[in-house]
Amino acid sequence: MLDPFGRSVSYLRVSVTDRCDFRCVYCMAEDMTFLPKADLLSLEELDRLCSAFIGMGVRKLRLTGGEPLVRRGIMTLIDNLGRHLKTGALDELTLTTNGSQLEKYAVDLYRAGVRRINVSLDTLDAAKFAELTRWGRLDQVMAGLQAAKAAGLAVKINAVALRGVNDSEFDDLIAWCGREGFDLVLIEVMPMGEIGEAARLDQYLPLSMARASIQRKWTLDETDYRTGGPARYYTVRETGRRLGFITPLTHNFCESCNRVRLTCTGTLYMCLGQNDAADLRAPLRASESNALLEEAIREAISRKPKGHDFVIDRRKAPTAVPRHMSVTGG
Ligand code: SAM
Ligand code: SF4
């Protein structure tokens, strides 16, 4: 699948639920209204949609959310999607998770063919963690991470850089990841979803500043390592682990974008930072054959925009897209 700018679309991210057992302050409001359960695609429909994309050239699939591991029956979907790894149609099946359910699922995930996971963790301080996630418990996530390691899953930690919250902890996170054998990716906070304008401006920390302070203590060697994602990677010489930076606001990464995102109601977003979308649920449900669905997917890809419009600027309203990250999946 080629988009109008010649980019090959080979990566599908699927938000399997908009629900979550945490309420991270940069991601959700405390009193979120979730989609009615009746609007969700069934696990069978999600499988059919993912399989159609794989048939059309998607080589990498990432499940996300909300929290993917709180969707009831999620292991059935993951087990079933694992068949595409066995046939070689899919190179990688992976997920982004908050880690709360990993103790329960790590072994099953490995068995289904998952080899790498991203776990979101912004702080190693239990009190700060509770404050940031509102409902989360650090010890549960830590137990999940140990279970993932024991099961043989490679772990990448995603941490959103938040000014005045975890910017004093980057050194600790780098050292801890070094000890645990995890890679680390720092992410700039993106203006998604209504959480209060003042909050967003206060949170934003350009990663160019973070990197400068990190380099006072650590030696960052440039690498050309890519995971098919937007992160730029360095190797931390002192730990031997990778450190990535995702900088949507300070560095525009759209020219190499290879992905599209599907929501749990079957809406396809061709760009995380744009509102244009395509409904795939109607063509999916219209017939048992995939012909209409494939036509709708092709039509959507032909509309993939050149880039996002994110901007955090004191002179402008900070929310570039009104939906929360949990809808499209981070
Ligand atoms: N619940 C899972 C988790 O937390 O990993 C998966 C979904 S979550 C929406 C995916 C990623 O998006 C997480 O790493 C989270 O930190 C990040 N995220 C959420 N809201 C964000 C925002 N406004 N800006 C940048 N990253 C955000
Ligand atoms: Fe849930 Fe992930 Fe959003 Fe936190 S970042 S509220 S864990 S979906």
Q: What is the DSSP string of 90-120?
A: -SEEEEEE-STTHHHHHHHHHHHT--EEEEE
pLDDT at 178 over 90: yes
In a domain, 81, yes or no: yes
| Closest of 17, 8, 123 to residue 64, by C-alpha | 17
Domain, as residue range, for 178: 11-328
CA atoms of 205 and 211, how far apart (whole Å): 11
Partners of residue 11 on adjacent β-strands: 60, 259
Q: What is the CATH number of the domain that holds 175?
A: 3.20.20.70
Average of pLDDT values for 220-232?
Answer: 84
**How many Cβ atoms are within 10 Å of 322's Cβ, its own excluded?**
10
Q: How far is the CA of 96 from the centre of ligand 1 (A)?
A: 9
Q: What's the mean pLDDT in 111-118?
A: 98
Name the pLDDT band for 315 (thresholds 50, 70, 90). Answer: very low
Contact 96, 329 (CB under 8 A): yes
Structure tokens at 44: 């069978």
Residue 197 pLDDT > 60, yes or no? no
| Alpha carbons 278 and 262: distance in angstroms, whole number | 9
Share of the chain above pLDDT 90, in %: 70
Residue 4 lies in a domain: no
**pLDDT for 201 beyond 60:** no
Nearest-atom number in ligand 1 for the CA of 65 is 7
CB of 28 sitting under 6 A from ligand 2:
yes
**Measured in angstroms, how far is the CA atom of residue 69 from the centroid of ligand 1?**
14
User: Residue 77 — φ and ψ, nearest 5°?
Assistant: -65, -45
Atom 5 of ligand 1, residue of closest alpha carbon: 97
Res 122 pLDDT > 50: yes
Average pLDDT estimate for 274-291: 94
Measured from the Cα of 191, ligand 1's closest atom is 23
**Torsion angle of the four alpha carbons 189, 195, 200, 202, in this order, in degrees rounded to the nearest 10:** -120
Residue 180 lies in a domain: yes
Report if residue 2 sits inside a domain.
no
User: Which is nearest to 234 in space by CA: 225, 224, 226, 222?
Assistant: 222
- Beta carbons of 68 and 105 less than 8 angstroms apart: no
Dihedral of alpha carbons 93, 99, 101, 107, sign: positive
In total, the chain counts a number of residues equal to 330
Ordered DSSP codes for 239-267: T--EEEEE-TTTS--GGG--EEEE-TTSE
Q: Which residues contact 54 (CB under 8 A, 6 or more apart)?
A: 61, 84, 89, 90
Nearest to 285 by CA among 41, 15, 35: 41
Q: How far apart (Å, rounded) are the C-alpha atoms in residues 290 and 254? A: 30
Span 147-164, pLDDT tens digits = 999 999 999 999 999 999
User: Quick one: which ligand is closest to 160's CA?
Assistant: 1
Shortest-distance Cα residue to atom 19 of ligand 1: 27
> Is 0.75 topped by the overall pTM?
yes
Closest protein CA for atom 4 of ligand 2: 24
Atom of ligand 2 nearest to the CA of 100: 7
Count of domains for the chain = 1
Identify the pLDDT of residue 193. 60
Both tokens of 128, joined, read 């700060």
CA distance 320 to 312: 8
The stretch 66-90 carries a mean pLDDT of 98
- Tokens 């930072």 sit on residue: 273
Average pLDDT, stretch 194-223?
A: 82
Q: Is 3 a member of any domain?
A: no
Neighbouring residues of 289: CB distance < 8 A, sequence distance ≥ 6 = none
Give the Å distance between the CA of 66 and the centre of ligand 1. 8
